[in-house]
């Protein structure tokens, strides 16, 4: 059975989005890309100002509430349904809950063939990238660099600290069937 889903997990500013774009360029078949940023951007602005939604604290912490979790669960099921319908999908994720986050995806993806990829980056390097971006709260990269990997089991890991996105994408693509 061919790989149907690639899940990239890493902290903010670890280089996942760049790897996804490179994967779409190097993989022979078309792959759809979805990420946690896609989900957050699709939500109403009111969920970024309510206790039940998602909050980006001044120190970079991300706090999610029950309304966010309910929409996230529906979104995860929807992405899994697309893969079951024949779309090949790359997921750009941040497992804030470590192994618990992975379990939510595993449950939804069920029998699909999934390549689990850890995207690591030294927290200091990721924090430097974060400063260069205008769309992140300072502190997010450092706070997520290690916690998102706790208890998560991968088929493959890449490290973007000193490795370019294209090289990481080629490494991942070599593991895709």
Q: Tokens 């850890």 belong to which residue?
A: 118
Active site residue 37: yes
Cβ-proximal residues to 13 (8 Å cutoff; 6+ apart), any chain: 121, 126, 127, 129, 130, 133, 136, 140, 141
Q: How many CB atoms lie within 10 A of CB 91?
A: 25
Catalytic residue (one of 29, 37, 92, 135):
37
φ and ψ at 159, to 5 degrees? -130, 120
The structure tokens listed for 169 are: 């994408």
How is residue 25 written in tokens? 């360029």
Residues serving a catalytic function are: 37
């Amino acid at each position: 059975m061919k790989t149907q889903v690639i899940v990239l997990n890493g902290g903010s500013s670890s280089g996942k989005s760049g790897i996804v774009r490179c994967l779409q360029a190097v993989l022979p078949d078309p792959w759809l890309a979805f990420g946690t940023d896609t989900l957050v951007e699709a939500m109403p602005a009111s969920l970024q100002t309510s206790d039940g939604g998602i909050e980006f604290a001044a120190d970079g912490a991300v706090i999610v509430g029950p309304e966010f979790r309910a929409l996230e669960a529906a979104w995860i099921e929807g992405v899994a349904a697309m893969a079951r319908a024949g779309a090949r999908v790359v997921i750009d994720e941040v497992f804030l809950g470590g192994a618990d986050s992975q379990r939510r995806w595993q449950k939804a993806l069920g029998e699909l063939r999934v390549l689990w990829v850890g995207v690591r980056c030294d927290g200091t390097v990721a924090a430097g990238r974060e400063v260069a971006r205008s769309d992140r709260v300072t502190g997010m990269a450092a706070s997520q660099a290690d916690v998102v990997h706790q208890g998560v089991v991968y088929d493959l890991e890449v490290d973007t600290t000193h490795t370019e996105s294209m090289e990481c994408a080629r490494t991942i693509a070599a593991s895709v069937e």
